[in-house]
Amino acid sequence: MKFLGSMKNVDGVLEIGGISVKKLKEDFGTPLYIYDLELLQKKIRDIKNSFKSEKFNTTVVYASKAYLSKGMAQVINREGLHIDAVSAGELYTILSSGFPSKRVHMHGNNKSLEELNMCVEREIGSIILDNRFEAEKVAQICKRVGKKMDVMLRLNIGIDAHTHEYIKTAKHTSKFGESIFDKEIENIVKDIVEKKELNFLGFHCHIGSQIFDELAFCEGVKTMVQFTKKVSEKLDIKIPEINIGGGFGVRYTEEDTDADLKKMMKKIIISLEENLLAENLSVENVIIEPGRSIVAAAGSTLYTVGGEKKTFGGEKYVFIDGGMTDNIRPALYSAKYESVVANRLNESKKELVTIAGKCCESGDIIAKNTKLGKCSEGDLVLVSCTGAYGHSMSSNYNKALTPAVVFVKDGKSYLVSKRESYEDLIKNDFDLIESI
Ligand code: LLP
């Protein structure tokens, strides 16, 4: 396993943020989501400082679906980034953290009236309209409460980036956005522009997630700039912003490129500058929405080994006390991870094992045929780079308790979310037996 951020081997025991995993287990139990705060801050600053241009302003919006808690929103706020939400639940969490509403932006392909009302009432920064029908809904709400809302329109630009089928978002058949190839597209924009309750800021796109291919992003930039130019000329309007979404790939295992985030940001800036120049177009602001690239590497999951099993068929299992309930990605996308026996780092002997969780589900696997040091009951296994879409896609399947989340830095730990309790699992249930 590649050591990330502040990870250190101290006498054979892994330390993160200056705290040994043994101590973290003692204090918070396992499974445990651990976030290396220093690495998280570094990723944020790397992106913020390298996504800059002298030709236009830039805004970095953290895509909160990758991982969100009040504590996380507070880190993002402290670093001066904007943040997005795709549901009332995310919006509520963000606003409850004290995040300034003007730096919050709302996504979603089927926002409910309740969600749209919340956006307008709480005066958030902008709504990214998914489609032609949503503009009218927002305008009606604005009219009723006497407010105006900044909006962007999400476009499907038809770029089919190289990633897993489930996380491609800009194929022609995708459910997201309005297609630039739709013959009605200019009328859709005209309709939005003409609504006096809405202030049209520009177009948004997001070509997919876990993308390493710079060319795909540059192709996206080119299409967005050309389209913005075309529409601004046709409708004779000034379009101040372009939002090119997120999706920047991260290294999970040695099979992935070790993407240089700063270099990627610079390439995109150059592509923006070149394309704007070529089209003789100027915009005031360009927005990106990284999620995974900010938070994936900073997070890891710590488990306790319950035992091992060698099956009759020859598969060697290591059983851990979590699984698909805290990380569905291997089951859902065949995602791969690196792992280590975190309390026996100095033992060099490794074997090929399958790390399996405790759910009643054969697909409950965290890493298949992975190299792991020898371990047995009570040992600690750490899976790295689980910071994005681990906690946020966790579930209570088999009534698993959502693990605690702890941020660590400089020898200090900060509990951000406590482990769910058994009472939490039944707090919304009513007894039925009395009523039937
Ligand atoms: N902006 C929009 C409009 C998005 O839909 C997404 C992700 C992002 C930004 C952030 O993308 P990122 O930088 O994190 O790649 N559950 C999947 C990923 C789904 C991504 C959905 N949209 C996974 O675990 O890989």
CB-based contact 244:205 (threshold 8 Å): yes
CB-based contact 359:337 (threshold 8 Å): no
Which of the four pLDDT bands, split at 50, 70 and 90, describes residue 251?
A: very high
Structure tokens at 288: 């990106």
Output the pLDDT for position 399: 98
Query: Averaged over 209-232, what is the pLDDT?
Result: 96
Distance 246 CA to ligand 1 centre (A): 7
Is 375 noted as a catalytic residue in this protein?
Answer: no
> Which atom, in ligand 1's list, is nearest to the CA of 107?
3
Output the pLDDT for position 173: 84
Percentage of the chain surpassing pLDDT 90? Answer: 94
> Which atom, in ligand 1's list, is nearest to the CA of 169?
5
Q: Cα–Cα distance between 304 and 58 in angstroms, integer? A: 43
Q: Cα–Cα distance between 85 and 63 in angstroms, integer? A: 7
The CA-based dihedral angle spanning residues 11, 297, 125, 202, taken in that order and rounded to the nearest 10 degrees: 160
Please classify residue 188 by burial: count the beta carbons closer than 10 Å to its beta carbon, then call 0-12 exposed, 13-18 middle and 19+ buried. Answer: middle
170 pLDDT exceeds 70?
Answer: no
Output the pLDDT for position 172: 81
Comparing 175 with 405, the larger pLDDT belongs to 405
Output the pLDDT for position 33: 99
Omega into 403 within 30° of 0, i.e. cis? no
Structure tokens at 363: 């697909």
Distance 338 CA to ligand 1 centre (A): 21
70 pLDDT exceeds 80?
Answer: yes
Distance 293 CA to ligand 1 centre (A): 10
CB-based contact 110:133 (threshold 8 Å): no
Output the pLDDT for position 165: 67
Nearest Cα to 181, choosing from 152, 212, 151, 156?
Answer: 156
What are the residue boundaries of the structural domains of the chain, listed by start? 8-30+298-425, 38-291
Among the residue ranges 73-77, 169-173, 385-389, the one predicted with the least confidence is 169-173
Distance 67 CA to ligand 1 centre (A): 11
Where do runs of H (alpha helix) occur along 335-401? Answer: none
Q: How much is the pTM?
A: 0.97
Structure tokens at 85: 């939400």
Output the pLDDT for position 166: 65
Nearest Cα to 252, choosing from 359, 315, 164?
Answer: 164
Output the pLDDT for position 168: 65
Catalytic residue among 142, 205, 218, 360: 360
Report the CATH fold assignment for 38-291.
TIM Barrel (3.20.20)
Q: What does the longest C-alpha to C-alpha distance in the chain come to?
A: 73
> Which atom, in ligand 1's list, is nearest to the CA of 128?
3
Mean of per-residue pLDDT scores for the chain? 96
Among the residue ranges 61-75, 127-141, 152-166, 218-232, the one predicted with the least confidence is 152-166
> Which atom, in ligand 1's list, is nearest to the CA of 294?
13
Q: Cα–Cα distance between 392 and 136 in angstroms, integer? A: 31
Distance 374 CA to ligand 1 centre (A): 35
Q: What is the CATH number of domain 8-30+298-425?
A: 2.40.37.10
- Ranges of beta strands (E only) in 159-212 are 178-179, 198-204
> Which atom, in ligand 1's list, is nearest to the CA of 291?
14
- Ranges of beta strands (E only) in 5-123 are 8-10, 13-16, 19-20, 32-36, 57-63, 82-85, 104-106
354 pLDDT exceeds 80?
Answer: yes
Query: Averaged over 85-103, what is the pLDDT?
Result: 98
Distance 64 CA to ligand 1 centre (A): 9
What are the pocket residues of ligand 1 if the criterion is a CB atom closer than 6 Å to any ligand atom?
Answer: 63, 66, 107, 167, 169, 206, 209-210, 245-248, 289-293, 329, 333, 388-389, 393
Which residue of 292, 327, 385 sits with most ligand 1 atoms within 8 Å of its CB, as the best mutation to test the pocket?
292
Which of the four pLDDT bands, split at 50, 70 and 90, describes residue 32?
A: very high
Please classify residue 432 by burial: count the beta carbons closer than 10 Å to its beta carbon, then call 0-12 exposed, 13-18 middle and 19+ buried. Answer: exposed
Output the pLDDT for position 171: 73
pLDDT tens digits along 6-16: 999 999 999 99
